[in-house]
Amino acid sequence: MFEYAPAPESRSVVDLKPSYGLFIDGTFVDPTDGGSFKSINPASEEVLAEVAEAGAQDVERAVRAARKAYDKVWGPMPGRDRAKYLYRIARLIQERSRELAVLESLDNGKPIRESRDVDLPLVAAHFFYYAGWADKLEHAGFGPNPRPIGVAAQVIPWNFPLLMLAWKIAPALAAGNTVVLKPAETTPLTALLFAEICQQADLPAGVVNILTGAGDTGRALVEHPGVDKVAFTGSTDVGRAIARSVAGTRKKLTLELGGKAANIVFDDAPIDQAVEGIVNGIFFNQGHVCCAGSRLLVQENVAERVLESLKRRMAQLRVGDPLDKNTDVGAINSAAQLERIRELSDAGSAEGAERWSPPCDLPDRGFWFAPTIFTGVTQAHRIAREEIFGPVLSVLTFRTPAEAVEKANNTPYGLSAGIWTDKGSRILWMADRLRAGVVWANTFNKFDPTSPFGGYKESGYGREGGRHGLEGYLNV
């Protein structure tokens, strides 16, 4: 046997402070009401740092700072200068990518291989891409004189903390808005390090404000009357609540919400790559991915073969220490999320689906869930309908392309879909019919700053990335 020795990435590159304040108007300040919470490492449950909890008065301060910066500095600033600040930020992120990657893995639980090879390169690329738009907005196809909206309230999730920050902040700033961003309560640390990068880049005070906190902070922020734009990525339920809360206001809203994507494998698929795509589709980032391919729709005449290959491949997944460079599947982000994954998985078993996981030793401390597949799943099972947001795949079968489309679309969500077949005309036929904002054909879970991302139906509205991503931050 060839056993890989532990290959841990060094933590020493990260210099964590014991506690962090709120980043308002260019400086770190204590919260007005003095509240705080702890951010822990989900792989060990150790406390990483104590983080301030922003209350209503802090939201007020931050929105006021953002407004002032919008009116006095960032709004009037020529696009070419905004661009230079964004380029600076992009470069600083590249320079400090190792530090950011390690901190992301510590706070989130994702494998260092992913934070290093996926998250951080995409974060830097996102700032780099939108930096270039800042002085070209009149050429973006939204009319001759596109104007920024004003102050953007941005609330992001814990699954890709820094990447979601980049998706929110880069286009907002490029378009000339200022922002108040609230990272998720379980993963606030890279956003705070990003605040330091803003300082390092000499970004004018108030252009970016970071408020840490939980649901109440987020609610106070999006409901603040001084906010002109709300951007949210997270669960469909919270998205719905936000959509209600902005009703009757002039706040512009974009939402990137949940999904239950079908990954459709035809009998003529390149099987080995399809299996990789299935694995990447559902086990990438522990399945904490809104566009995860959480429903495998496999053509019945090839189902047995695909499942055999899939199980063999799953047995190679290395679950464990997120900082080990050879880890493929890290820790579940929180106890609460683990509980939700367990509950839905138990429902899958109770409803009669067949559950399988490869043999794997899970660490004693921290939050862990073995990669799991359910076979014999039908559209009526909860695990085929509800977003699990974990490393759990539901396997369904189909007989014809039309049936595949029907099953794929039979969900209130519409974020992404996958198609695996060697037949080009079938790909295009399927892609036309799938009601999803991103369709990956013979690949899955690919992201790029130039490529618009966002959902149909209850997966939200608006697009992030690409030229389209500017639209949500411009008055056009």
Partner 1 sequence: MSERVAVRKTYKLFIGGKFPRSESGRSYLVQSSNVSLASRKDARDAVVAARAAVKGWAGATAYNRGQILYRAAEMLEGRREQFVALGIPGDEVDAAVDRWVWYAGWADKLAQVYGGANPVAGPYFNISAPEPTGVVAVVAPERPALLGLVSVIAPAIVSGNTVVVAASATEPLAAVTLAEVLATSDLPGGVVNILTGAITETAPTLAAHMDVNAIDLTGVTDAALATDLEVKAAENLKRVLRPAPADHDWSVDPGLDRMTALLETKTVWHPKGV
Partner 2 sequence: MTATTTSARSELSELGRSETALRTFLHGLPGVDQVGAEQRAAQLGTRSIKTTAKAQAIDLAIRMVDLTTLEGADTPGKVRALAAKALRPDPADPSCPHVGAVCVYPAMVPYVAEVLRGSAVHLASVATAFPSGQAPLEIKLADTRAAVAAGADEIDMVINRGAFLAGRYKEVYDEIVATKEASGDAHLKVILETGELATYDNVRRASWLAMLAGGDFIKTSTGKVPIAATMPVSLVMLEAVRDFREATGRQVGVKPAGGIKTTKDAIKYLVMVNETVGPDWLDPDWFRFGASSLLNDLLMQRTKLTTGTYSGPDYFTLD
3 binds partner 2 (CB under 8 A): yes
Please say whether the beta carbons of 325 and 104 come within 8 A.
no
Q: What backbone torsions phi and psi does residue 421 show, to the nearest 5 degrees?
A: -165, 150
Please say whether the beta carbons of 461 and 255 come within 8 A.
yes
Please say whether the beta carbons of 161 and 104 come within 8 A.
yes
Among 190, 33, 170, smallest CA distance to 115 is for: 190
Give the per-residue contact string, 20-49, with partner 1 (x = CB under 8 A; - = no).
Answer: ------------------------------
Handedness of CA 178, 154, 117, 366 (dihedral sign): positive
- The nearest distance, CB 1 to partner 2, in angstroms, is 5
Catalytic residue among 53, 185, 256, 464: 256
326: partner contacted, choices partner 1, partner 2, none (Cβ within 5-8 A by kind): partner 2
Task: Specify the residue, 271 or 431, whose C-beta has the smaller distance to partner 2.
Answer: 271
442 binds partner 1 (CB under 8 A): yes
439: partner contacted, choices partner 2, partner 1, none (Cβ within 5-8 A by kind): partner 1
* All residues at 6 or more sequence positions from 61 whose CB lies less than 8 Å from its CB, including other chains: 24, 25, 29, 32
The DSSP string of 106-123 is HHH---HHHIIIIIHHHH
Number of residues that bind partner 2 (CB under 8 A): 23
Please say whether the beta carbons of 177 and 470 come within 8 A.
no
Among the listed residues 89, 92, 166, 257, the single contact to partner 1 using CB under 8 A: 257
Handedness of CA 199, 52, 336, 315 (dihedral sign): positive
Q: What backbone torsions phi and psi does residue 336 show, to the nearest 5 degrees?
A: -65, -40
300 binds partner 2 (CB under 8 A): no
441: partner contacted, choices partner 2, partner 1, none (Cβ within 5-8 A by kind): partner 1
DSSP character at residue 179: E
Give the per-residue contact string, 259-288, with partner 2 (x = CB under 8 A; - = no).
Answer: ---------xxxxxx--xx-----------
436 binds partner 1 (CB under 8 A): yes
The DSSP string of 141-172 is SS-S--EE-SEEEEE--SSSHHHHHHHHHHHH
Which residues within the stretch 102-131 sit at the binding site for partner 2 (CB under 8 A)? 113, 117
Give the per-residue contact string, 5-44, with partner 2 (x = CB under 8 A; - = no).
Answer: xxx-------------------------------------
256 is catalytic: yes
Spatial separation of the C-alpha atoms in residues 233 and 291, rounded to whole Å: 12
302 binds partner 1 (CB under 8 A): no
316 binds partner 2 (CB under 8 A): yes
Residues catalogued as catalytic: 256
Binding site for partner 2 (CB under 8 A): 1-7, 113, 117, 268-273, 276-277, 316, 325-326, 422, 442-443
Binding site for partner 1 (CB under 8 A): 125, 141, 143, 236, 239-241, 243-244, 246-248, 250, 255, 257, 412, 427, 431, 434, 436-443, 446, 448, 450-454, 456-458, 460-461, 463, 466-468, 471, 476
